[in-house]
């Protein structure tokens, strides 16, 4: 999408959400699990509107373990593509005997095609079952119309 295309959108509704501060969610799951309170709901005014989702959060992987952190955003059960084509993106991998703190950023434009309340949430998983802690999550959902 070009800057000119983005400039043609009209901002209709903005909702900001900030949560998961401090210790946040610590999980060892190798399957995706919800990040506690990492949800935001927006109700589009038109079924033809798009939703711009922006999120940033910090994460840390277990000390002394070679493992990777993975994150994804969902609308209902649907993965919202952002970053890689799969919609799933990885935090920094941890090299043995080191601990990685990662700053993670996610930006996507979604087309939910509804005027009903639409909820987005983030999930995380570990590649090896080591502890991942996510904290300082900030999310913005913005309705934009063409």
User: Residues 90-132: pLDDT tens digits?
Assistant: 544 434 445 667 777 788 889 999 999 999 988 888 888 888 8
Which range, of 52-56, 62-66, 106-110, averages the lowest pLDDT?
62-66
Can you tell me the distance from the alpha carbon of 47 to that of 85, in angstroms, rounded to the nearest whole number?
A: 24
Q: Domain residue spans in the chain?
A: 24-135
With tokens 């969610």, the residue in question is: 25
* 7, containing H or E segment: helix 3-7
Residue 9 has pLDDT above 80, yes or no: no
Mean pLDDT of 27-37: 88
Q: What is the CATH architecture assignment of 24-135?
A: Sandwich (2.60)
């Amino acid at each position: 999408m070009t800057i000119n295309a983005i400039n043609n959108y009209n901002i209709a509704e903005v909702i900001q959400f900030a949560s998961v501060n401090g210790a946040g969610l610590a999980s060892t799951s190798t399957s995706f699990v919800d990040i506690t309170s990492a949800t935001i709901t927006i109700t589009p005014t038109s079924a033809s509107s798009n939703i711009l989702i922006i999120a940033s959060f910090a994460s840390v992987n277990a000390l002394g373990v070679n493992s990777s952190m993975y994150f994804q955003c969902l609308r209902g059960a649907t993965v919202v593509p952002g970053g890689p084509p799969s919609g799933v993106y990885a935090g920094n991998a941890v090299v043995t005997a080191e601990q990685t703190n990662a700053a993670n950023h996610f930006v996507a434009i979604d087309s939910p095609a509804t005027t009903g309340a639409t909820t987005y949430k983030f999930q995380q998983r570990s590649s090896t079952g080591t502890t991942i802690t996510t904290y300082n999550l900030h999310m913005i959902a913005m309705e934009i119309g063409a």
